[in-house]
Structure 1
Amino acid sequence: MTKPDFIFEQAAHRRGFVHVAGVDEVGRGPLAGPVVAAAVILDPAHIPDGLDDSKKLTAKRRDALYDELFAVAHVSIAGASVAEIDEHNILRASHIAMVRAIAGLARTADHALIDGNMIPRDLVLSSETLIKGDGRSLSIAAASIVAKVWRDRHMVTLSQQHPHYGWDKNAGYPTAQHKLGLEQFGVTEHHRRSFKPIHNILYQDKIVSD
């Protein structure tokens, strides 16, 4: 099984770029909560061992790498709210989050490696896309870990306010517990109204009330 490496970052360095940021987002699929992006500039001399696509790591390993990355790398986290997801669409909102994460870096990036196949339209610095980049680039893998850990923790916090949906375990994804919670307790302010399952519930409620 192939692991992410530093080849794309090194190639950018050879082209004259000094601060190369890996960028990834998490949270496109959930029915609730923000979409969250992270940007990470790794120090080539201090790259944590074991960086990989966040989905391939245990929660315990992600947590440890999250802390280590904040200690040895430049890290920025940003989100797009449920309101922004509903106003635009989830793809556009994820790109807004990515641009915000890059802008929030304490050290200004001069090149970005973007997970996926689209460069956010508001991104003005040099950039390139990498399909399945979190499994190919160490910087993008680092960003995937940071974004996932932060968002998972955020959903745990939200689950304390709304305990009926299982967000502490499903992070807002449409699991059986989440769907049951929606049936029994309805829609919260953290649900994405533009997503079909939520829209359908609200529309059905409107028909009943009308």
Structure 2
Amino acid sequence: MPSLEMELAAGGRVAGVDEAGRGPLAGPVVAAAVILPTDTLSELAALLDDSKKLTAEQRLAAFLALRASNAEIGVGAASVGEILRLNILHASMLAMRRAVTRLGLTPDLALVDGNYPPKLGCSVRCVVGGDALCLSIAAASIVAKVVRDRAMARLAARFPGYGWEANAGYATRPHREALLRLGPTRHHREAFGSVAHLRLELTIAG
């Protein structure tokens, strides 16, 4: 289970930073930055874990508990256009920078999930597997996932047939089949695997 050990050892204002949506075929990449109060209640801490280990219901409960707490939360995103222009790695770094700037205050240190440090306006420490080790990164992973899933559900209502309300833009079989049947939308990442292959098939067929 993640803990506050890294935040307490660092001292000062420490933000956990993580992203959601690097792998999907469609939609933005979303990042979150969270500064947990040092007196985080055990009830809140018990709700926080790597977002991938939680059910949708558990993520929502944790998200609402974070929103109701004294945690500082910032959210940022990079669009599909930015992903295609910058590549997914640098677009993720851009989303992280936006999330940190939207905290409303500058942290002394950012604990970032992964091994690639974004350029932020504070010190940065990368933590591989940080969402399973560090409580603030786990909180950020939950916020980013919930916000992105909600965004994809809204897009699903405007672009029906791809199942984004259920697959959040990931390359599930129904999503790939819908791509073949309906073609890509402007929210698809045209350089990504199945989307690029589909466009090649359509070009050859045409």
Deviation at 1:152, TM superposition (A): 0.6
What is aligned with 2:15? 21
- Counterpart amino acid of residue 4 in structure 2: F
Whole-angstrom CA distance in 2 between matches of 1:175 and 1:105: 34
The one of 162, 180, 201 equivalent to 1:183 is 180
Residue matched to 1:99: 97
| Structure 1 residues without counterparts, runs of 5 or longer | none
Amino acid at match of 1:20: V
Amino acid at match of 2:95: A
Give how far 1:170 is off.
0.6
- Alpha-carbon RMSD: 1.1
TM-fit CA distance, 1:54: 0.6
SS at match of 2:77: strand
Q: How do 1:41-56 and structure 2 match up within 5 A?
A: 41-47=35-41, 48=44, 49-56=46-53
Deviations 1:170-193 (A, max 9, x none): 110000100110011000011001
Distance 2:184 2:115 in 1: 33
Match of 1:11 among 9, 12, 18: 9
Structure 1 residue 71, shift from structure 2 partner = 1.9
What CA deviation, in whole Å up to 9, does each residue of 1:40-97 have, x standing for no partner?
A: 0001213413210011111111111111112211001110100011001111111110
Q: How many residues align?
A: 202
State the SS of the aligned residue for 1:85. helix
Q: CA deviation at 1:159?
A: 0.7
Shift of 1:161: 1.1
Question: 2:52, 2:195 → 1: CA distance?
Answer: 26
Within 5 A, what are the aligned runs for 1:126-137? 126-137=123-134
Does structure 1 residue 196 correspond to structure 2 residue 193?
A: yes
Q: What is the Cα deviation at residue 206 of structure 1?
A: 2.6
Distance 1:205 1:154 in 2: 29
Q: Distance in 1 between matches of 2:29 and 2:92?
A: 6
Aligned to 1:202, what secondary structure does the other structure show? helix
CA contact (8 A) 2:17 2:112 kept: yes
Question: Separation in 1 of the partners of 2:175 and 2:17?
Answer: 29
Alignment of 1:206 with 2:200, yes or no, is no
What is the aligned-residue identity percentage? Answer: 50
CA distance in 2, matches of 1:92, 1:154: 21
Contact 2:47–2:61 (CA under 8 A) maintained in structure 1: no
Give the drift of 1:6: 0.7
Task: Write out aligned runs for 1:131-150 (5 A).
Answer: 131-150=128-147
Matched residue SS, 1:174: coil
Give the deviation of 1:8 after TM superposition: 0.6
Question: Which moves more between the two structures, 39-48 or 196-205?
Answer: 196-205
Once residues 149 and 65 of structure 2 are traced to their aligned partners in structure 1, the CA distance between those partners, rounded to angstroms, is 18
Q: Deviations over 1:120-153 (max 9, x none)?
A: 1x32311100000000000000000000001011
Alignment gaps of 5+ in structure 2: none
Aligned to 2:150: 153
